[in-house]
Every structure is written in structure tokens, then in C-alpha cells.
């Protein structure tokens, strides 16, 4: 019985290697920079503005080439979706940077065109993500530390002229009743690639991901939704695994 299991595993491994050898299966590494915007309606928040935040991403792209013009790609990755909440007008100087890290899995269909080495491509698909961690840092008014205005000849222009600010930088504590840590949405990208004769494929891609799930759970009446909209540029390199496995024969 034991030898039968070994033979079965050996058979499955042989079938896998044979499939990879005959098909074009790519594996690689990519990294990039992005900008994220948190879309929401803040009409009920006076003197408040939501600004875009810069972030990083790193992933392990896996691509299976079906034919000359179509492939299927998945890219397990870590991506930051950051944004800033800034107070304006009289409350200028008060802000909060939100640094959010997501584990994300996009699955895309890739449509390509060009010759054997230089190719253009378009990626279209869906993604799922998990809000893995968050950090908040910024400056707030400290009501217990007012400014001594006796030395001023005129009234302060901003609130920080009357109340001193305090800075903070801390890990965000998720709320099980408010925070929706699962995110789903669509993804689209466009790019160019160059593949060497030895099977190395270098590429650059512009990509946009847009969430259609609220960043919050439905925990109150007339809740205002919040959606991440992220766009960025990535560079990467993938290797044609069929040529690596093929070198063993």
C-alpha cells in the first residue's frame, strides 16, 4: 500500500512537470508605487478634506499562457492603500495619515499583441483583499494645553493659535462591529513587456483597482459608504518555467 502511494505521487509529479514543460507557465516578482483615494461623501464634516495617499506594493505574479494572445494571471500581493484626512480653514494644521496594508489576490485575463519579444498587453479581472493592518499618525488639538494669548495683539488666525497641537503615531485597533476587513472589486491594467530568448520576461504596467465593497460594516442608519480607488505603476520580471523544467530533459 505504501509503495502504491509513492507511485501515485510520482505519477502526479510527472504529469505536472510534463504539463509545465509543454505549456508556457510564468512565475516572477513585481513591485510598484501607487496613489489611493478614499471616496466618500463628507458633506456633514465641515472643514474636512480627504486627500490621496502614496503607497507601495509587492507581489508574486503567476501567469499561464493559453495561446499567443490570451493568458490567465494571478498576482498574490501586499499593497498599501493610504489616504489623509486633513482639516481646512480655521482648523488648518490638524490631520491624520491612514496607512493601510492589504493582502490582495487579483485574478485577470490578459490580452496581448505584438511580436515574440516586444508585446503590449491589457489585464482585466476581479480581486479580493484582506485589510491586514493599519497605522494612524497625525496632529490633533489638545484642549488641555491652550496657548497663552495674552502676548498676542490680534486674535489668532487658526485654532492652533489658541490650542496647542499634539502629535501621535500608533497602531490602529480594528473594530469587529465597524470595520469591514474584506474587500472586493475590479482591476484593470495596461502595459508592455520584453521577453528574452532564455525565457525572462520584463514588464512595466499601469494598474487601477476599484473597490465595490464599503470599508465599513453596516452598523448605523444612513451610513455614508467609503470606497478605495487605487492606481499605480509596477515593474516586474517573470520566468518561463517550461524552459527551466525543459533543461532537465
User: What tens digit of pLDDT does each residue of 45-67 get?
Assistant: 889 999 999 999 999 999 999 89
3-state secondary structure at position 119: strand
Sort strands 48-59 and 95-114 into parallel, antiparallel or unpaired. Answer: unpaired
The residues that bridge with 156 in the sheet, in sequence order, are none
- Between residues 151 and 85, the one the model is more confident about: 85
Contact criterion met (CB below 8 Å) for 245 and 25: no
* Nearest in space to 201 (alpha carbons), one of 245, 244, 238, 234: 238
Model confidence band, residue 150 (pLDDT cutoffs 50, 70, 90): low
Question: What nine digits make up the cell of 95?
Answer: 490631520
Cα–Cα distance, 80 to 82 (Å, whole number): 6
At residue 13, the pLDDT reads: 55
Whether residue 1 has pLDDT greater than 90: no
At residue 20, the pLDDT reads: 47
Contact criterion met (CB below 8 Å) for 204 and 191: yes
Largest CA distance in the chain: 94
Model confidence band, residue 221 (pLDDT cutoffs 50, 70, 90): confident
Residue 7: CB atoms within 10 Å: 10
State mean pLDDT over 63-88: 95
Residue 249: CB atoms within 10 Å: 7
Range 2-246 classified under CATH 2.40.50.140: no
Residue spans per domain, the chain: 2-246
Residue whose C-alpha cell is 530568448: 197
Total-model pTM: 0.84
User: What tens digit of pLDDT does each residue of 151-186 get?
Assistant: 555 566 777 777 788 899 999 999 999 999 999 999
State mean pLDDT over 210-221: 93
Model confidence band, residue 232 (pLDDT cutoffs 50, 70, 90): very high
Whether residue 187 has pLDDT greater than 90: yes
Amino acid at each position: 500500500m505504501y509503495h502504491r502511494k509513492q507511485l501515485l505521487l510520482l505519477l502526479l509529479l510527472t504529469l505536472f512537470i510534463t504539463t509545465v514543460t509543454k505549456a508556457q507557465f510564468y512565475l516572477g516578482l513585481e513591485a510598484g508605487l501607487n496613489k489611493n483615494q478614499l471616496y466618500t461623501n463628507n458633506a456633514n464634516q465641515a472643514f474636512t478634506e480627504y486627500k490621496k495617499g502614496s503607497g507601495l506594493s509587492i507581489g508574486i505574479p503567476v501567469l499561464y499562457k493559453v495561446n499567443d494572445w490570451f493568458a490567465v494571471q494571478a498576482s498574490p500581493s501586499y499593497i498599501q492603500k493610504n489616504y489623509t484626512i486633513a482639516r481646512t480653514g480655521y482648523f488648518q494644521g490638524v490631520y491624520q495619515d491612514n496607512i493601510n496594508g492589504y493582502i490582495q489576490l487579483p485574478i485577470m485575463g490578459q490580452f496581448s499583441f505584438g511580436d515574440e519579444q516586444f508585446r503590449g498587453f491589457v489585464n482585466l479581472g476581479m480581486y479580493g483583499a484582506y485589510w491586514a493592518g493599519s497605522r494612524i499618525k497625525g496632529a490633533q488639538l489638545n484642549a488641555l494645553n491652550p496657548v497663552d494669548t495674552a502676548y498676542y495683539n490680534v486674535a489668532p488666525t487658526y485654532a492652533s493659535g489658541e490650542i496647542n497641537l499634539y502629535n501621535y503615531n500608533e497602531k490602529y485597533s480594528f473594530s469587529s462591529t465597524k470595520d469591514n476587513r474584506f474587500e472586493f472589486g475590479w482591476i484593470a491594467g495596461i502595459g508592455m513587456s520584453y521577453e528574452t530568448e532564455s525565457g525572462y520576461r520584463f514588464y512595466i504596467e499601469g494598474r487601477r483597482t476599484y473597490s465595490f465593497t464599503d470599508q465599513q460594516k453596516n452598523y448605523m442608519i444612513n451610513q455614508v459608504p467609503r470606497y478605495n480607488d487605487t492606481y499605480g505603476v509596477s515593474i516586474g520580471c517573470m520566468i518561463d518555467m517550461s524552459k527551466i523544467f525543459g533543461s532537465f530533459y
